[in-house]
Amino acid sequence: MPSLNTQILIAALLGLLLGTGLGALGDASLTKEYMLFGAGIVGNLFVDLLKMVMIPLIFTSIVVGVANLQAHHQAQRVWKYTLVFFVSTMALAMVLALVVSNIVKPGAGLHLAMFADAMHNFEAKQLTPADFFAQFLRSLFQNPFAALAQGNVLPVVTFALFLGVALVMGGARYQHILKLLQEFLELIMRIVGWIMKLAPLGIFALLTTLIATQNLELLSTVGGFIVLVFATTLFHAVVVLPLILYLFTKKSPLWFWRGAREALVTAFATSSSSATVPVTLRCVEDNLRVRKNIAGFVVPLGATINMDGTALYEAAAALFVANLVGIELTLAQQLIVFCTAMVASMGAPGVPSAGMVTMVMVLQSVGLPAEAIAILLPIDRLLDTIRTAVNVQGDMIGSVVVDSLVKNNMAEDESVTDSSSENIR
């Protein structure tokens, strides 16, 4: 029997083929209607199962990861390396998007008649940078029980970080609580293993629905922008991130893709980096051999704030909208887009089309009409697939790089200690 990796890859290809075939049947086809109904049920079931374990998994993995890092005095290094990696890769993604968009100028001279009604009827929520920052800070600190019940990832991560540190500061007194959480994490990972048996079927259904429901006329109208986003995002995924991986770990891209394939295909199909966390952790720990305490810290945190694909998309989309409305953004305005998109991407929840929520703020930061987001909404679901996969790829490569850097520093510390001991003798 083929491995789960192979099954998922075959299912994804079959889903793309079937979706293309159903899309050609036309909206009046009963066959298409019934098949999409069945695919919708199966796809939603798979995503709901992942979401069921997402919050308990994120909570326990971060608490246990932070507690173990603190106990081994590695927390400060892991924090620094993780945040530097996240910010650096997101910055590289946006620089790539801005440079390519300035060269290609997507949207220049595009006919917007088909979007006129959408632009007229769409009401964008006005969100100034000050409002966004205030809202973002409020979202960090909430009732943890309400956040757990409502599935709000950001306050869950915040509370888990505090709890992990508190468990270490409490010492032996709270060891039984830490042990209980470790066992609960193992239990959740066992359930994840059961859910993954349904992954090929779920991914097949999700991709069938996605491809079959795309509006081909719309895609052809904004095809240049779609190609630009796909090309730059793939360049970041295939060249930039693997190059960083090789420079810091000497690991080959093929080694990484073999181990990461399950998570990348799942992210592509679900368009949710948060829902993919169970699969990502499984791949990072079992296939890429990252230590559990580091993976348990980097992956859930990355699913919350590390959004390479989203940052790249928002930077490119801002220039696309500027070209549509006939405004040429200056270098200073593009720097504002860069900074705003960085913060907005880190604040965007890891759920489908969450980037649209923060896209309004990016547009408004340089005086672009927020209503122009109506142009992006119809094509967002398609673009969300590739950028989510790259978001998850960044989390996984970040885990491997941070794990390697921490190991190297520990080896250096031990060699220094040994040298000092020899000198004393």
pLDDT digit string, tens, across residues 135-180 = 667 777 888 888 888 877 778 888 988 998 898 888 888 889 989 9
pLDDT at 252 over 90: yes
Euclidean distance between CA atoms 176 and 118, whole angstroms: 57
Tell me, yes or no, whether 343 lies in a domain. Answer: yes
Euclidean distance between CA atoms 207 and 265, whole angstroms: 10
More confident residue, 223 or 13: 13
CB 285 within 8 Å of CB 330: no
Provide the CATH number for the domain around residue 222.
1.10.3860.10
List, for residues 240-250, the tens digit of each pLDDT value: 999 999 999 99
For the chain, give the mean pLDDT: 82
Predicted TM-score of the model (pTM): 0.80
pLDDT at 280 over 60: yes
SS (H, E, C) the chain: CCCHHHHHHHHHHHHHHHHHHHHCCCCCCHHHHHHHHHHHHHHHHHHHHHHHHHHHHHHHHHHHHHHHHHHCCCHHHHHHHHHHHHHHHHHHHHHHHHHHHHHHCCCCCCCCHHHHHHHHHCCCCCCCHHHHHHHHHHHHCCCHHHHHHHCCHHHHHHHHHHHHHHHHHCHHHHHHHHHHHHHHHHHHHHHHHHHHCCHHHHHHHHHHHHHHCCCHHHHHHCHHHHHHHHHHHHHHHHHHHHHHHHHHHCCCHHHHHHHHHHHHHHHHHHCCCCCCHHHHHHHHHHHCCCCHHHHHHHHHHHHHHCCHHHHHHHHHHHHHHHHHCCCCCCHHHHHHHHHHHHHHHHHCCCCCCCHHHHHHHHHHHCCCCHHHHHHHHHHHHHHHHHHHHHHHHHHHHHHHHHHHHHHHHHHHHHHHHHHHHHHHC
CB 313 within 8 Å of CB 232: no
What's the domain range around 158? 4-411
Please classify residue 160 by burial: count the beta carbons closer than 10 Å to its beta carbon, then call 0-12 exposed, 13-18 middle and 19+ buried.
Answer: buried
Note the pLDDT of residue 124. Answer: 45
Exposure string for 11-27, b = 16+ CB within 10 A, e = fewer: bbeebeebbeebbeeee
pLDDT at 60 over 70: yes
Tell me, yes or no, whether 151 lies in a domain. Answer: yes
Mean pLDDT for the stretch of residues 347-351: 55
pLDDT at 274 over 90: no
List, for residues 371-416, the tens digit of each pLDDT value: 777 777 778 888 888 999 999 999 999 999 999 998 887 666 555 5
Mean pLDDT for the stretch of residues 93-100: 94
Tell me, yes or no, whether 277 lies in a domain. Answer: yes
Residue 133 binned pLDDT confidence (cut-offs 50, 70, 90): low
Looking at the chain, the whole-number percentage of residues with pLDDT higher than 70 is 84
Euclidean distance between CA atoms 66 and 164, whole angstroms: 5
Tell me, yes or no, whether 62 lies in a domain. Answer: yes
Tokens 């100028």 belong to residue: 105
Token digits for 265?
Answer: 């295909």
Looking at the chain, the whole-number percentage of residues with pLDDT higher than 90 is 28
List Cβ neighbours of 40 (8 Å cut-off, separation of 6 or more): 205, 209
pLDDT at 364 over 70: yes
Tokens 């080959």 belong to residue: 252
Tell me, yes or no, whether 425 lies in a domain. Answer: no
Number of domains in the chain: 1
Note the pLDDT of residue 122. Answer: 45
Tell me, yes or no, whether 423 lies in a domain. Answer: no
In total, the chain counts a number of residues equal to 425
CB 377 within 8 Å of CB 339: no
Tell me, yes or no, whether 424 lies in a domain. Answer: no
Chain-centroid distance of CA 114 in Å reads 31
Tell me, yes or no, whether 416 lies in a domain. Answer: no
Cβ neighbours of 388 (radius 10 Å): 31
